[in-house]
Amino acid sequence: MLRVGIDVGGTFTDLAAIDSDSGETFTLKVPSTPREPQRGVIDALERFLAERRCGASAVAFLGHSTTIATNALLGQLGLELPRVALVTTHGFRDVIEIGRQNRSDVYDLFVERPRPLVAREDRFTVRERMDYRGQILEPLDAESLAQVCKALRACDNLAAVAICLLNAYANDAHERRVAEAVAEALPGVAVVRSSHVDPEYREYERFSTAVVNAALTPIVARYLDSLTAALRELGLGAPYYVMRSDGGLASAAHAASRPAAIVESGPASGVVAAAALSNRFGERRLLSFDMGGTTAKAGAIVDGIAHVVAEFEAAGRTHSGRSIRGSGYPVRFPFVDLAEVSAGGGTIAWIDDAGSLRVGPVSAGADPGPACYGVSERATVTDANVVLGRLNQTHLLGGAFPIDAGRARSAVAALADSLDLSVETTAAGIVTLIDAQMSKALRIVTVERGLDPRDFTLAAFGGGGPLHACALAGELSIARVLVPPRPGIFSAYGLLVADIRENVVLPLLAPLEETDFARLERTFRECEARSRATLLAQGATPESIRFRHELDARYAGQGFELSIRHDPAAEAVSRHFHAAHRARYGYDVPGERIELVNARLTAFGSLPHIADTANRPHDRTVRAPQAAAYRRVWHIDRFVTTPVFARDRLSAGDAIRGPAIVEQYDTCTYLAPDWGLTVRDDLLVLDRATSDA
């Protein structure tokens, strides 16, 4: 039986599969179909089944990561958000638009906030009021609710309604009654309660999360329904799962009910695969670096666990890898903490008004792609690597994808003429600039998180990661790089090793000394029982289910909190918080009062046979490492005749000294002159020959 993972990227759709019985692995890349993303999934699966000469009934599991939610929020590829209405407490109609009053650009007098996802005329109010402890101050007014339902029925083409009442996180009785009335008045229209998707205090963030969820529900449901129908037509009867932003899988039905949880679906799967690599090879501190066709992403993994944060801004802008507050829509669903920059193989190089060479942020994407693909005339990072000889001069994907090296050179030459430089120097400049941008992302997830990058090993993957890994590692004084077996399709492997997850948030808002820990423990046990049932319903094996308990804590008077490990004793919680505050901010205040804001439970469950087969090394015939070819490759300031090795001919224990190139189906590894490479099982281990003082 086959386990299949399909990751839809901006340029390629990647498929990774493993035979549950033999442990044999398979990989495949097909061009993405941005305007019809489900088509790319079907194309990859059809081609894979044809090459394997088997039917869809042989597929026992399908995991999928998608960018459909992000594209919808960004208004890309013709995806238009549906008409959404909001029902809230009287007097709070404009909370969703007022927000936090933070400016995404402090010095821009004409800065504009993101367009509200709900037009003002589609926001309605009912009379009711709860206090912050859930006590009813004003009962829900039946007449105002009836008027709202009447007004909603009069709205044309209404696709979803978000119910967001003040302090509903503490008591959702009124929200439930409103939701029932709206659902009865508008059959077939999606109804989302804020207390269901985000039961936390801070009304703006809760309202925003509910509205984003409501806006995405029709789009994601339509996409998943279309994909389900196509898979059934293909003959696939096995359940399929969708990667969530927190690195966990969810069944397609479960994902459709909370689509805001899959906004960062694609980037998360790569970090999950890197975490599995960390556990497999005992690397306590691992940096995940994923360079694809349009973006590069970095994440930190400590003790085999990727860092997850509780909130992010969907469809927001970034600057040098940092999210710009106020530029997007706050979403309070856990997501893997990543730094992302607009730097990929398809990133376009250009000349600015001052006559300087620039790279990005615009990407050629899958259509038209880099100049060497044969359509575009604009130079990209991929074209620069072709000019420098680091990429194959005639083809990619094992010969399946032709490369026009002459066209790449012509595109770079157009920039070189403007700069009055040689083509090779210009190409090297393009690579240097993109490396500088990507190194910023690695610094964000290490230095800016209080971590020393020199203590980490770098895991480089994606179509371009191994090509730039030596330069990035050298920039951050990292001594070792790991290149997984199939780097260009590594994110798809994350779908094969990920757990199913369920997250539960319990609002507390109480001083530490007033917290009833016995009651909290009972509540945790109740939540565990419900989460266990949810995981079992999605196919998790009973023996694999496990739980993690955390608390959100802060000093009294602080505006934001830190997540710490839960301990059923106030003294232990206090120690954990002081230590976490000291690690994050450089100081702690032992005598200060501590407040507990939320309790969090994360439930994990594995699907049958996935975890123990996905990382099994495949057999190789042992051969001496000899070059498959030689070609001229640009190193520092000149071309050097460089050996090119075929990765599938390398065996465990083989050693290579740089400079060298290692080619394989889905990527190319560039070994710089001052680096060495050894093969460990099915992994390429790159070590610097010299270390920085």
Rounded CA separation 292/438 (Å): 12
Highest mean pLDDT among 148-162, 335-349, 394-408, 581-595: 148-162
What was the pLDDT predicted at 478?
97
Rounded CA separation 114/385 (Å): 37
Rounded CA separation 550/483 (Å): 33
Of 605, 632, 666, the residue at which a domain comes to its end is: 605
Rounded CA separation 347/574 (Å): 48
Quick one: 56 and 143 in the same domain?
no
Quick one: 504 and 598 in the same domain?
yes
Rounded CA separation 66/266 (Å): 6
Q: What domain count does the chain have?
A: 4
Q: What is the pLDDT of residues 647-667, one digit of tens each?
A: 999 999 899 998 999 999 889
Note the residue count of the chain. 693
Quick one: 10 and 97 in the same domain?
no
- 82: closest CA among 232, 217, 269? 217
Does 372 score more than 90 pLDDT?
Answer: yes
Assess contact for 218 and 182: CB atoms under 8 A.
no
CA distances from 288 to 275, 307, 317, 475, 545 (A): 8, 11, 22, 16, 26
Pairing of strands 25-31, 190-193: unpaired
Quick one: 107 and 213 in the same domain?
yes
**Do the domain assignments include residue 550?**
yes
Look at 9-13, 121-125, 372-376, 596-600 and tell me which has the smallest mean pLDDT. 9-13
- 277: closest CA among 291, 268, 288? 288
Rounded CA separation 656/331 (Å): 47
What was the pLDDT predicted at 76?
63
**Do the domain assignments include residue 678?**
no
Does 578 score more than 50 pLDDT?
Answer: yes
CA distances from 184 to 86, 188, 190, 389, 437 (A): 16, 9, 11, 65, 52
How many CA atoms within 13 Å lie on the side-chain side of 584?
A: 13
Query: For helices 142-153 and 173-185, what crossing angle results, to 10°?
Result: 40
Q: Which residues contact 65 (CB under 8 A, 6 or more apart)?
A: 5, 6, 7, 8, 242, 243, 265, 266, 268, 269, 491, 492, 494, 495
Q: How confident is the model at residue 611 (pLDDT cuts 50, 70, 90)?
A: very low
Output the pTM of the full model.
0.88
- One DSSP character per residue, 174-229 reads HHHHHHHHHHHHSTTSEEEEHHHH---S-HHHHHHHHHHHHHHHHHHHHHHHHHHH
Quick one: 600 and 505 in the same domain?
yes
- 331: closest CA among 271, 246, 222, 219? 246
Fill in the DSSP letter of residue 284. S
CATH code of the domain containing 141: 3.40.50
Does 612 score more than 60 pLDDT?
Answer: no
pLDDT average, residue stretch 274-292? 92
Pairing of strands 2-8, 655-657: unpaired
Quick one: 422 and 512 in the same domain?
no
**Do the domain assignments include residue 620?**
no
Rounded CA separation 229/219 (Å): 15
Dihedrals φ, ψ of 392, to 5°?
-55, 140
Quick one: 365 and 421 in the same domain?
yes
Quick one: 188 and 253 in the same domain?
no
Number of neighbouring beta carbons within 10 Å of residue 499:
21
Rounded CA separation 414/427 (Å): 11
Rounded CA separation 487/291 (Å): 10
Q: Which residues contact 374 (CB under 8 A, 6 or more apart)?
A: 402, 404, 407
Q: Which two tokens stand for residue 586?
A: 């450089």
Supply the range of the domain harboring residue 572. Answer: 500-605
What was the pLDDT predicted at 67?
85
**Do the domain assignments include residue 689?**
no
Quick one: 135 and 205 in the same domain?
yes
- Break the chain down into helix, strand, coil percent, rounded to 5: 35, 30, 35
Q: What is the pLDDT of residues 79-105, one digit of tens each?
A: 788 999 999 999 999 999 999 877 788
Residue type, 91: G
**Do the domain assignments include residue 295?**
no
Rounded CA separation 348/368 (Å): 11
Quick one: 139 and 94 in the same domain?
yes
Of 583, 605, 627, the residue at which a domain comes to its end is: 605
Q: Which two tokens stand for residue 470?
A: 């030596």
Rounded CA separation 435/291 (Å): 11
588 three-state secondary structure: coil
Which residue, chain included where needed, has tokens 């008045």? 185
- One DSSP character per residue, 93-121 reads TTHHHHTT---SSTT-TT--PPPPSS-GG
Q: Which two tokens stand for residue 101?
A: 């009053």
**Do the domain assignments include residue 663?**
no
Quick one: 67 and 88 in the same domain?
no
Look at 340-349, 397-406, 516-525, 536-545 and tell me which has the smallest mean pLDDT. 397-406
What was the pLDDT predicted at 693?
37
Rounded CA separation 218/221 (Å): 5
For the four alpha carbons of 313, 314, 315 and 320, in that order, the dihedral sign comes to: positive
Rounded CA separation 182/633 (Å): 66
Mean pLDDT, the chain, integer: 91
Quick one: 151 and 250 in the same domain?
no
Look at 114-128, 355-369, 511-525, 540-554 and tell me which has the smallest mean pLDDT. 355-369
Q: What is the pLDDT of residues 458-496, one digit of tens each?
A: 999 998 999 999 999 999 999 999 999 999 889 999 999
**Please, what's the largest Cα pairwise distance for the chain?**
83
pLDDT average, residue stretch 679-692? 83
Rounded CA separation 486/647 (Å): 10
**In the beta sheet, which residues pair with residue 629?**
644
% residues pLDDT > 70 (the chain): 96
Q: Which residues contact 593 (CB under 8 A, 6 or more apart)?
A: 511, 512, 513, 555, 556
20 three-state secondary structure: coil
Assess contact for 353 and 363: CB atoms under 8 A.
no
**Do the domain assignments include residue 493?**
no
Of 557, 577, 605, the residue at which a domain comes to its end is: 605
Rounded CA separation 259/329 (Å): 14
Rounded CA separation 432/434 (Å): 6
**Do the domain assignments include residue 334?**
no
Rounded CA separation 345/379 (Å): 10
Which residue, chain included where needed, has tokens 């990765």? 647
